[in-house]
Chain A
Amino acid sequence: DTAVSQTPKYLVTQMGNDKSIKCEQNLGHDTMYWYKQDSKKFLKIMFSYNNKELIINETVPNRFSPKSPDKAHLNLHINSLELGDSAVYFCASSPSRVLTEAFFGQGTRLTVV
Chain B
Amino acid sequence: DQQVKQNSPSLSVQEGRISILNCDYTNSMFDYFLWYKKYPAEGPTFLISISSIKDKNEDGRFTVFLNKSAKHLSLHIVPSQPGDSAVYFCAASGGSGNTGKLIFGQGTTLQVKP
Contact = CB atoms under 8 A, between A and B. Distances in A.
Interface residues of A, number: 29
B89 A43 contact: yes
Contacts, number: 63
B32 interface: yes
A87 interface: no
B43 A99 contact: no
Interface string A83-110: 0000000101010111111111111000
Q: Which of A96, A99, A102 neighbours the largest number of chain B CB atoms within 10 Å of its CB?
A: A102
A97 B106 contact: no
Contacts of A31: 100
A94 B100 contact: yes
Interface string B55-99: 000000000000000000000000000000001010001000011
Contacts of B32: 100
